[in-house]
Amino acid sequence: MPVLSNVSFQINEGEFIGIIGPNGGGKTTLLKLILGFIQPTQGTVKIFKNARQIAYVPQSTKFDREFPISVIEVVLSGLLSRLPWYGFFNQADHQKALEALEKVSLTQFKNHSFGQLSGGQAQRVLIARAIVDRPHLLLLDEPTAGVDNQAEADIYAILKSMQGSMTILMVTHDLNAAINQVERLLCVQGAVFSLKPEEVCEHYAMGLYHDPLLQIKQSNFR
Amino acid sequence: MPSFIEALSMNPLLFAALLGGWAASIVSGIIGSYVVVKRIVFIAGSISHSVLSGIGLCIWLERTQGVTWASPLYGALAAAVGSALIIGWMHLKYRQREDSVIAALWSIGMAIGVLFISQTPGFNVELTNFLIGNILWVSTTDLYILGGLDIAIILLVACLHKRFLAICFDEEQARLQGLNVNALYILLLILIAISIVLLIQVVGIILVMTMLTIPAAIANLVTKSLSLMMVVAIAISSSFCLMGNWLAYYLDWPTGATIALFAGIVYVASLFFANRRKKPILKSIE
């Protein structure tokens, strides 16, 4: 059974979009397609007329907590495309990394080990890494998974503060929170269709992506 | 019996052995750190054992076919780099079965080596040296080769360290930043292969994983950045060489095995102390 099929959607510049859907629906596949990690078997993905100024925030839980890397080194890795052949970042790059850390309120942790941070702090460091080079499109893969309520509120506050300055696509299972934050939702369940936050059925928040309602919404969208 | 310090000044062989061990420590500290943090110790083990195929082939060519240029060192280098390329290719193309392929390469390499050696008459001193190492036979030429490769690896790693760090920590991010992740991964494996051949001169095939992983693994317990981990690993590895040579001198034990045993005991002790140190921290968080 194919993952996704005739998917067609557009995202406007500066939008804050949540991507929802049941497990196995194709959310990760959609992210990987946008990131260019996999190629579509048919059709094309066009972003900024093919200019790929994309940043990605993975889940912090996938990282090896014993890896010896400092917070500032993680953030600087968001500037690798600017790294000269001799392999040293210049003063301006370090300044950009510090500014990005300031935006996520973690400047005081710049020399700490990434593995020593809490889940919420680690996620904010990954957001700093993603925004350090001022991307046009920011993709986030469940940024609040496995963090406590306060860390979740901090992460949403950071994303809200960036709203409008870049286009944000956030995969999330946390539907209750997401409908309060995002402007539009893309529901991925084989195909992709768009919903306004107020159209989201309360059953979705319980993980029940029931077919009849999805079909109604899908027909409305078309 | 003269003291170890007196013996060092009187016996150039012992002094050369210590210098050789320290030169190898630089390689093991730097490259071993990448091996440990990228969690590819199994790959390094496979490369180190498949080296036997090249050594066996060259000894057979030299002894039975009269090919005088077929030095076991060249065979070891060719087999190590060849294995690294095969493993790299399998990693990129058939990641699902990577561990099985690595294990197969490990045993096939050793099998080829054993077959060639069985067809070679006489007792092979070089083979014994490659298997269990003989640091006391480090020649002046070996020291120059070790020193030259140290400098080459330091320069290369200085330029590529942040890129290697990126592919070790988060390959997806590195790819998104436009790095050629596949080429960097293959280059890292080739550097590991060359380092393994150098370290084999010191401690031999059977013990090489000790030098490549234990100093870096201990350094990983006490450092929070990869570059600092490399410096600490070099210091630890150099200390192991010094202590191993010192113990081997007084106990009249084989140097390579003494270094490996000492390193192993220190590693187990460091794990014990690292666990004890972590417990109060966890309690305070709770």
Residue B123: which pLDDT band, with cuts at 50, 70 and 90? low
Query: Residue A12: which domain range?
Result: 1-53+136-222
Tell me which chain A residue has its CA closest to the CA of residue B164: A87
**Cβ within 8 Å of A, B 29-58:** 37, 39
Task: Specify if B270 maps to a domain.
Answer: yes
Cβ separation B160–A87 shorter than 8 A: yes
Compute chain A's Rg from CA coordinates.
18
Where among A110, A134, A158 does a domain terminate? A134
- Phi/psi-derived region of residue A67, left when phi > 0, alpha when psi is between -120 and 50, beta in every other case: beta
Task: Specify if A48 maps to a domain.
Answer: yes
Gap between the Cα atoms of A72 and A97, Å rounded: 7
In terms of domains, do A209 and A145 share one?
Answer: yes
Residue A146 has what pLDDT? 79
Cβ separation B177–A77 shorter than 8 A: yes
Residue B47 has what pLDDT? 94
Query: What type of residue sits at position B271?
Result: L
Residue whose entry in the numeric block shows the structure tokens 């027909």:
A219
Q: Please, what's the largest Cα pairwise distance for chain B?
A: 71
Task: Specify if A11 maps to a domain.
Answer: yes
pLDDT above 70 (res B139): yes
Tell me which chain A residue has its CA closest to the CA of residue B177: A81
In terms of domains, do A75 and A19 share one?
Answer: no
Gap between the Cα atoms of B12 and B193, Å rounded: 29
pLDDT above 90 (res B267): yes
Here the tokens at position A180 are 């309060």
Task: Specify if B120 maps to a domain.
Answer: yes
> Rounded to the nearest 10 degrees, what angle do helices B72-93 and B98-118 cross at?
160
Residue B278 has what pLDDT? 58
- Residue A3, C-beta contacts closer than 8 angstroms, at least 6 positions apart: A26, A29, A190
Residue B261: which pLDDT band, with cuts at 50, 70 and 90? very high
Instruction: Read off the pTM.
Output: 0.87
| Domain count across chain A | 2
Here the tokens at position A90 are 């210049």
CB A125 within 8 A of CB A65: no
The CATH number of whichever domain residue B134 belongs to comes to: 1.10.3470.10
Residue A202 has what pLDDT? 59
Residue B239 has what pLDDT? 95
pLDDT tens readout for residues A124-170: 999 999 999 999 999 999 888 878 888 888 999 999 898 888 999 99
- Indicate the average pLDDT of chain B: 87
Tell me which chain A residue has its CA closest to the CA of residue B35: A67
Task: Specify if A190 maps to a domain.
Answer: yes
pLDDT tens readout for residues A40-55: 888 888 876 544 588 9
Tell me which chain A residue has its CA closest to the CA of residue B282: A116
Q: Mean per-residue pLDDT for A56-85?
A: 92
* Range in A58-67, B90-99, B204-213, B244-253 with the lowest mean pLDDT: B90-99
pLDDT tens readout for residues A165-212: 899 999 987 777 777 888 888 888 767 777 777 666 655 555 555 554
Q: Mean per-residue pLDDT for B216-231?
A: 93
**B24: closest CA among B198, B158, B188?**
B198
In terms of domains, do A152 and A212 share one?
Answer: yes
Number of Cβ pairs < 8 A linking chain A and chain B: 80
* Range in A19-28, A112-121, B64-73, B243-252 with the lowest mean pLDDT: A19-28
Task: Specify if A59 maps to a domain.
Answer: no
In terms of domains, do A144 and A169 share one?
Answer: yes
Query: Residue B215: which domain range?
Result: 4-279
Shortest CA gap A127–chain B (Å): 12
Residue A205 has what pLDDT? 52
Residue B256 has what pLDDT? 84
pLDDT above 80 (res A82): yes
Task: Specify if A3 maps to a domain.
Answer: yes
Here the tokens at position A58 are 């993975």
- Indicate the average pLDDT of chain A: 83
3-state SS track over chain A: CCCCCCCCCCCCCCCEEEEECCCCCCHHHHHHHHHCCCCCCCCCCCCHHHCCCEEEECCHHHCCCCCCCEHHHHHHHHHHHHCCCCCCCCHHHHHHHHHHHHHCCCHHHCCCEHHHCCHHHHHHHHHHHHHCCCCCEEEEECCCCCCCHHHHHHHHHHHHHHECCEEEEEECCCHHHHHHHCCEEEEEECEEEEECHHHCCHHHHHCCCCHHHHHHHHHHHC
In terms of domains, do A98 and A208 share one?
Answer: no
Task: Specify if A58 maps to a domain.
Answer: no
Query: What type of residue sits at position B265?
Result: I
Gap between the Cα atoms of B52 and B131, Å rounded: 8
In angstroms, the first-to-last Cα distance of chain B is: 57
In terms of domains, do A106 and A140 share one?
Answer: no
Q: Mean per-residue pLDDT for B22-32?
A: 91
In terms of domains, do A221 and A169 share one?
Answer: yes
Q: Among B39, B162, B176, whose Cβ lies nearest the Cβ of A83? A: B162
CB atoms near residue B208 (< 10 Å): 30
The CATH number of whichever domain residue A11 belongs to comes to: 3.40.50.300
pLDDT above 70 (res A59): yes
Residue whose entry in the numeric block shows the structure tokens 């029940």:
A208
Residue A221: which pLDDT band, with cuts at 50, 70 and 90? very low
Return the H-helix or E-strand segment holding B188.
helix B181-203
B95 by DSSP, 3-state: which? Answer: helix
pLDDT above 50 (res B283): no
Residue B133: which pLDDT band, with cuts at 50, 70 and 90? confident
Parallel/antiparallel/unpaired status of strands A184-189 and A191-195:
antiparallel
Task: Specify if B284 maps to a domain.
Answer: no
Cβ separation A80–B178 shorter than 8 A: yes
Answer with the residue of higher pLDDT: B218 or B8: B218
pLDDT above 60 (res A103): yes
Compute chain B's Rg from CA coordinates.
20
Task: Specify if B285 maps to a domain.
Answer: no
Residue A86 has what pLDDT? 92
Residue A109 has what pLDDT? 95
Residue A71 has what pLDDT? 96
pLDDT above 70 (res B235): yes
Residue A43 has what pLDDT? 84
Q: Please, what's the largest Cα pairwise distance for chain A?
A: 59
Q: Mean per-residue pLDDT for B226-243?
A: 95
* Range in A93-102, B32-41, B88-97, B100-109 with the lowest mean pLDDT: B88-97
- % of chain A exceeding 90 in pLDDT: 38
Chain A residues within an 8 Å CB radius of B177:
77-81
CB B176 within 8 A of CB A35: yes
pLDDT tens readout for residues B65-98: 988 888 888 899 999 999 999 999 888 887 767 7
Shortest CA gap B41–chain A (Å): 15
In terms of domains, do A147 and A118 share one?
Answer: no
Residue B262 has what pLDDT? 94
Provide ipTM, 2 decimals. Answer: 0.84
Residue B147: which pLDDT band, with cuts at 50, 70 and 90? confident
In terms of domains, do A110 and A35 share one?
Answer: no
pLDDT above 60 (res B284): no
| Domain count across chain B | 1
